[in-house]
Structure 1
Amino acid sequence: MRRPGLRWKLTAAIAAVSALVALALSIVVHNAAELSMLNSARDVQDTRVQLAAKIYESTHRLTITARLNDPKLPAGLKEAARKGLRATYIQETSGEPIIWAETPLPDNTILSINSRFSDRAAVLDDLDGVLIAGSVAVVLAGSALGVLIGGQLSRRLRKAAVAAREVADGDTRVRVRDAIGRRVHDETDELARAVDAMADALQERLEAERRVTADIAHELRTPVTGLVTAAELLPPGRPSELVRDRAQALRTLVEDVLEVARLDGAEERADLQEMALPEFVRRRVGGLAPDATVQVVRDAWVHTDPRRLERILGNLLANAGRYGKPPVEVVVDGPVLRVRDHGPGFPPDLLREGPSRFRTGSSDRAGQGHGLGLTIATGQARVLGAELSFRNVQGADGEEGASGAIAELRLPEVVPEADSRPGA
């Protein structure tokens, strides 16, 4: 399940904060309006009771629904009247509240009036409707702002992540600050500068290591060649055979190290051409590994460099023959080339991290090999624009109890016209 991105998290946070703020303000405004309305109603009722008292004192007539010594007068108002005070009171009922007002008269009677506050509910309902509409508008506006800001930030971070992955894949020309677009002095720009600085520093270190490796291998090339030539001049015998074998192994190692250094330099260019993959594989496998079987599931034409593809195929077959167990099978399925053995499979660290120099493709190598074969194959595949992956069988493909290692090379496929294919 895909987790929500930064854009939606930021939007949800802004929407939640906006909703809480709008709710708090709505409650405050509602309570303040209600209190203001009740105070105004009490002031009006107090004015009315004073007017009724003056009329009664002048004419001894009760007006404005005034009453003398009303038996329903709340106890609090009776107590205030006994003290000679004029007062108002709000009596809460199940329906509309009743606003009371009283004033004591000189003859020790209490004149009071009361009326229901019938307009409060309608006014507050209207006010609540306005507050709800305003709150919804605030939340929607905040969410839109969150989508806008979060989307911009998310796009910049996503572009930075893509650029960083390209740098990790070996494209030294990519820079994160250029990938994220226009300069905005924020955290993303600081992150881009830091990643670019780290990439530059790593590139300098890798280039320095590559140059040292290439220089050492190049300097060793001449004396090793002389050593191989001198070994060929030794008289026949078991000691001479061992010397020639080790000298040849040393020469192969030096050549492989030079090739790895060239591939690490990202300066290799493929001489691409269109060719029929099944025919190429049949011819090369017959010479590289005569005991291996070739199966063609589907024909395909690919766009590749034959010399580099032969190097990859040879290294995969050599790895399968050295660390796996027979039979070794080569399957051509369209533009996909698979090399499988029936050995113990690739070690977990190779499947997890990929090939690494001086680490072989088998968990039981017993200290033999230099691990450069799969490293060279991966580098050559990168030059070809192909994808080389590794996996173990272990029950896959419907084979119960099966085991073995599978190296899968996916090449760029082309579908040329029949009359334009080479050799057609």
Structure 2
Amino acid sequence: MAASSRPDPAGARNPDRCRPAALQARLQGEQRFTADVAHELRTPLMGLATAAELLSQELAADYVRDRVKVLGGLVEDLLDVSRLDAGVEVADLLPCALGPLVADCVRRTGLAVELREEEGTGPAVGTDPRRVDRILANLIANAHRHGAGPVVVTVGARRVDVRDHGPGYPDELLAQGPQRFRTGAAERGRGHGLGLTIALGQALVVGAELEFANAPDGGAVATLLLPDADPADPGGPGDPGDPGDPGDPEE
């Protein structure tokens, strides 16, 4: 039977009937999230304990530094997810020329990316440069970690495509969207699966759309669709400047 978005008349008449089920679903979701967080933190912590016991002091120090970096990135990602879930994030929207903004974002990743800009990229977009930087950093990092090169970023009128040439997104992700702590398929590699979740959440904050698809000839494609700049805004498209440190993208 096809799914329907039609509201339940009985539930509409008596909304209290819907609350226990909604509360139970929320509690189950939080329990799964807590269990997932515990698992993701336990793995590097166990590695630290093993390194301290078995490795030489020099090797252990290198390993500890690497694991601390991983843990720090995970904690930052969890804080991002928490703020997005709480709905407390507010965008600082500015009129921006999309081409220079994306070029700066790509440069800051330090990763190998082929940047293409279509002719007639259109008027300025209205967005938050810092959040766009966060979105693109996570999309590019995901393409490198879970896909295969070349990674191509194409800038068009109000849109940015991030494409890799790997196995593509798994069917589960295409059907349900990104799920935290779920990478979806073994061939997409390992990771704690927060990067695409954060990218999608940040896109919603800036009023953008983020779509996921697979290219007909192979590879995953993420498309960011940004709104036009508000014509009532007296400012013109300016230099996006440095959006600040967006934090390490989730790998």
Identify if the C-alpha distance between structure 1 residues 268 and 202 changes in structure 2 by more than 3 Å, giving closer, same or farther: farther
1:390 equivalent to 2:212? Answer yes
Root mean square deviation, CA, Å: 3.3
Identify if the C-alpha distance between structure 1 residues 306 and 261 changes in structure 2 by more than 3 Å, giving closer, same or farther: same
Question: Equivalent residue for 1:370?
Answer: 192
Q: How do 1:88-167 and structure 2 match up within 5 A?
A: 161=6
Give the TM-score, by structure 1 length.
0.46
Give the TM-score, by structure 2 length.
0.74
Question: Take 1:415 and 1:270, find their aligned partners in 2: how far apart are those partners?
Answer: 14
1:358 equivalent to 2:166? Answer no
After TM superposition, give the deviation of residue 199 of structure 1 in Å.
5.6
- The structure with the largest alpha-carbon Rg is 1
Q: How do 1:257-336 and structure 2 match up within 5 A?
A: 257-297=78-118, 298-299=120-121, 300-336=123-159
| 1:294–1:331 contact (8 Å) kept in structure 2 | yes
Identify if the C-alpha distance between structure 1 residues 200 and 420 changes in structure 2 by more than 3 Å, giving closer, same or farther: farther
Question: Equivalent residue for 1:403?
Answer: 218
After TM superposition, give the deviation of residue 249 of structure 1 in Å.
0.5
Bigger RCO of structures 1 and 2 (CA < 8 A, at least 6 apart): 2
Question: Take 1:413 and 1:384, find their aligned partners in 2: how far apart are those partners?
Answer: 11
Question: Take 1:295 and 1:386, find their aligned partners in 2: how far apart are those partners?
Answer: 21
1:192 to 7, 12, 17: 12
Amino acid corresponding to residue 350 of structure 1 in structure 2: L
Question: Take 2:89 and 2:21, find their aligned partners in 1: how far apart are those partners?
Answer: 22
1:250 equivalent to 2:71? Answer yes
After TM superposition, give the deviation of residue 403 of structure 1 in Å.
0.9
Q: Which moved more, 1:334-343 or 1:295-304?
A: 295-304
Q: How do 1:176-191 and structure 2 match up within 5 A?
A: 188=9, 190-191=10-11
After TM superposition, give the deviation of residue 296 of structure 1 in Å.
1.2
| 1:344–1:363 contact (8 Å) kept in structure 2 | no
1:343 to 166, 169, 177: 166
After TM superposition, give the deviation of residue 413 of structure 1 in Å.
1.4
- Aligned residue for 2:92, secondary structure, equals coil
Contiguous gaps of at least 5 residues in structure 2: 240-251
Contiguous gaps of at least 5 residues in structure 1: 1-157, 165-186, 396-401
Aligned residues: 217
| 1:289–1:317 contact (8 Å) kept in structure 2 | no
- Aligned residue for 2:178, secondary structure, equals coil
Question: Take 2:12 and 2:194, find their aligned partners in 1: how far apart are those partners?
Answer: 34
Question: Take 2:20 and 2:169, find their aligned partners in 1: how far apart are those partners?
Answer: 33
- Aligned residue for 1:388, secondary structure, equals strand
